[in-house]
């Protein structure tokens, strides 16, 4: 069932997709997880899975990037009912912002309350090492500053308010649970916190751009996440963002280093297990938190 880009984000279209899914799984997920490049293993860890290929779900976009599988999985992690996107959508694939963020609105209509979003990112902060996991404290959307925003256009109040707040985009309680999880798992040596900056891609950044982003206060740079976070906050989902630092950006004209997708995927795989353990542990804590009176 094809769907025009501008219609894709409409309440009626999102509802049709949510109802189609609801009719095919008894799971009522509380947390949605978006698996970034090479991080799809998280979805495999779900128990009692039901999987849907994106191409079989009405109105769902298709992902076109190597390392992104293209499946929506429902299941349970540490007692918490979850839905996982194994493969996400990016603007650089040619998708409209409404397409990139379409699944978030479907999750909202499915009753999801929390969004955990993971990505691969380049490290701008000189203290960061390849393989670090950065908890996103805030973001910079140069895209947004330039007027590209998934919430542009008529506002449907059934999703949220016209002017959503973004100073609280990343939920303090989830961030606290992430910090505690890192401590309990002994992951402090490779967990960091910082500001994620979205650039549209698909080109990796120039040296001058990386220096600019550093001067702006960004700690990591990537090509995803921010549109989904904006739409999630608009409809009231709580967000936790995790960036896996897969490379250090090139900052010197004398450097022989070059960012490349193969390296990004290789490092994702190396750290995928820890990231998976971190998210699973955190979900267990979240489940305890919400289960206790």
Residue ranges in contact with ligand HPA by CB under 6 A: 120-122, 204-205, 221-223, 246-247, 249, 259, 264
Quick count: other Cβ atoms within 10 Å of Cβ 7? Answer: 11
**CA-atom Rg of the chain in angstroms:** 18
Tell me the closest approach of the beta carbon of residue 248 to ligand HPA, in angstroms.
8
Would residue 1 show up in a list of annotated catalytic residues for this protein?
no
Measure Cα distances from 262 to 3, 106, 110, 130 in Å. Answer: 33, 32, 35, 14
223 tagged catalytic: yes
Annotation marks residue 224 as catalytic: yes
Nearer to ligand HPA, 120 or 178 (CB): 120
Taking the complex as a whole, the smallest distance from the CB of residue 231 to ligand HPA amounts, in Å, to: 20
Judge whether 68 counts as a catalytic residue: yes
Structure tokens at 271: 């750290």
Kindly state the tokens that stand for 92: 């650089």
- Cβ-based burial of 50 (10 A; exposed 0-12, middle 13-18, buried ≥19): middle
> Is 234 a residue of the active site?
no
User: Toward ligand HPA, which CB reaches closer, 35 or 249?
Assistant: 249
Please identify, using beta-carbon distances, which residue of 40 and 222 lies nearer to ligand HPA: 222
Both tokens of 273, joined, read: 């297990």
Q: Tell me how far, at minimum, the Cβ of 122 lies from ligand HPA, in Å.
A: 2
Matching residue, tokens 């000189």: 126
**Catalytic residue chosen out of the listed positions 120, 121, 218, 220:** 120
| Mode of pairing for the β-strands spanning 238-248 and 220-222 | unpaired
| Residue with Cβ nearer ligand HPA (89 or 108) | 89
Distances in whole angstroms, Cα of residue 287 to Cα of each of 170, 173, 199, 290: 19, 13, 34, 5
Residue 37 designated active-site: yes
Picking from 132, 154, 152, 156, the residue whose alpha carbon sits closest to that of residue 144 is: 152
Closest residue to ligand HPA, judged by C-beta, is 122
Whether 181 sits among the annotated catalytic residues: the reply is no
CB of residue 240 to ligand HPA, shortest distance in Å: 19
Which amino acids are annotated catalytic?
37, 68, 90, 92-93, 120, 223-224, 247, 261
């Amino acid at each position: 069932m094809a769907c025009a880009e501008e219609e894709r984000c409409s309440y009626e279209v999102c509802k049709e997709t949510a109802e189609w899914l609801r009719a095919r799984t008894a799971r009522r997920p509380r947390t949605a997880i978006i698996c970034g490049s090479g991080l799809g293993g998280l979805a495999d860890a779900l128990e009692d899975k039901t999987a849907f290929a994106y191409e079989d779900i009405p109105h769902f976009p298709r992902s076109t990037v190597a390392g992104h599988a293209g499946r929506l999985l429902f299941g349970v992690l540490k007692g918490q009912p979850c839905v996982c996107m194994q493969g996400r959508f990016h603007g650089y694939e040619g998708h409209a912002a409404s397409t990139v963020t379409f699944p978030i609105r479907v999750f909202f209509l499915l009753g999801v309350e929390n969004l955990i979003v993971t990505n691969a990112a380049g490290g701008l902060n000189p203290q960061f090492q390849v393989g670090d996991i950065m908890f996103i404290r805030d973001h910079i959307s140069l895209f947004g500053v330039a007027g590209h925003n998934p919430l542009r256009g008529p506002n449907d109040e059934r999703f949220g308010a016209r002017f959503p707040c973004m100073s609280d985009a990343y939920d303090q309680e989830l961030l606290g649970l992430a910090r505690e999880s890192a401590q309990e798992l002994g992951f402090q040596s490779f967990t960091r916190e910082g500001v994620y900056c979205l650039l549209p891609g698909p080109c990796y950044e120039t040296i001058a751009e990386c220096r600019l982003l550093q001067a702006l206060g960004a700690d990591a740079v990537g090509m995803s996440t921010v549109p989904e976070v904006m739409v999630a906050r608009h409809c009231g989902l709580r967000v936790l963002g995790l960036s896996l630092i897969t490379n250090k950006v090139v900052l010197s004209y004398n450097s022989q280093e070059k960012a490349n997708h193969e390296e990004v995927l290789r490092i994702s795989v190396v750290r995928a297990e820890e990231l998976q353990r971190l998210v699973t542990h955190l979900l267990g804590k979240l489940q305890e938190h919400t289960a206790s009176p």
